[in-house]
Amino acid sequence: MLSHDTYSQPDAADPVLDEATVCALARRHVPSASRLTGVDESGGEARTYAIDQDVIIKTQRPHRLRPRTSLEKEVFFLDHLASDPEIHVPSVLGYGRYGDIEYICMSRMSGVAASTLTLEGPARTKVLQDLGRTLRRIHGVPQAPFYANPLFPGVRDREEFARRVEESLGEAVAGIATVQFTWTLEISPQQLSEVALATLPPAVDIVALHSNPGPEHVFVDPETLELTGLIDFGDAYIGHPSFDWRWPRPEDRRMVLNGYEGEGALPDDFLAAWRSTMVLREMAAFASRPASRGQALENLGWLARELELAR
């Protein structure tokens, strides 16, 4: 649905800022900021500096700079979510530049990334349902400001969305034909793509998406295993809400959907588009990500059955 990511300056130096510089940036917005307490670059494109116990300075890593990742866009998104107290995301304390350094100063999200925990059984179900409720509220904020902002790539209407789905399905089918991995489903990739396209409804929801609310960006209290919030909106774009389903297992997807529905019944058109675009995402994963092919095939089997039941 989006063009492939490229890094615009892959050979750029990637220095870690010294404590004095980081603290000076923080004090622009939090005068009481006193000391650097940690550096985290596990996010890949970004590096975060922890100040004291509750402040984060986030910068983009120069050699991982890519067109659709934007700290300015992240600030815009977070500011628009701040009016809903039920959406737990970092609060923007400040944003600016210091020489060549673009940065966000924000509150620190409590908890740890779900990817660092063993999250199973009822605790996993609860986190995923709560995530679904959070995503429904995020997708439900007024969309006109996002549509008007050129920082948000993606589609703006149903016709463009359908065209891109068709093109992307065609690319996925062609890619699957070159893969040396056994396709075990009774329905062929071409047939599955045709069903997914044929069941795409005449009306679809197009909203600003987080982009990857998966285990690395969903934060959980390590003691209670309760959802604490969602971080990292810098890759946001506009598309169908189903592209924000980024947990791996079919049962995970169902639990997120269950929580999403908990905020209000979903129309048949939403569920039809959800199934179709989930097929696209899984076929693209099968075609392009070798490590994900087994899981993608399992997910596609589940989705094929869902499509058959819905017809």
Domain parsing of the chain, residue ranges: 19-107, 112-310
d(CA 281, CA 244): 11
- DSSP letters spanning 118-143: ---HHHHHHHHHHHHHHHHHHHTS--
d(CA 267, CA 205): 11
- Comparing C-alpha atoms, which of 139, 140, 131, 149 is closest to residue 76? 149
Angle at 35 between CA 29 and CA 36, to 5 degrees: 95
Exposure letters 177-191 (e unless 16+ CB within 10 A, then b) = eeeeeebeeebebee
Give the pLDDT of residue 184.
94
Give the pLDDT of residue 44.
72
Give the pLDDT of residue 307.
87
Residue 167, amino acid: E
Give the pLDDT of residue 8.
64
pLDDT in tens, the chain (311 residues): 555 567 666 666 788 999 999 999 999 999 999 999 999 977 678 899 999 999 999 998 875 667 778 999 999 999 999 999 999 999 999 999 988 889 999 999 999 999 999 999 999 999 999 999 999 999 999 999 999 999 999 999 999 999 999 999 999 999 999 998 999 999 999 999 999 999 999 889 999 999 999 999 999 999 999 999 999 999 999 999 999 999 989 899 999 999 999 989 999 999 999 999 999 999 999 999 999 999 999 999 999 998 886 66
d(CA 15, CA 61): 8
In this structure, which CATH number among 3.30.70.20, 2.70.240.10, 3.30.200.20, 3.40.50.1400 belongs to the domain 19-107? Answer: 3.30.200.20
- The CA R_g of the chain, rounded to the nearest whole Å, is 20
Tell me how far CA of residue 107 lies from CA of 16, 31, 49, 113, in angstroms. Answer: 21, 14, 11, 16
Enter the pTM of the model. 0.92
Are 286 and 297 spatial neighbours (Cβ–Cβ below 8 Å)? yes
- Comparing C-alpha atoms, which of 25, 27, 34, 76 is closest to residue 53? 34
d(CA 115, CA 46): 18
Whether domain 112-310 has CATH 1.10.490.10: the reply is no
Tell me how far CA of residue 122 lies from CA of 119, 230, 252, in angstroms. Answer: 9, 20, 12
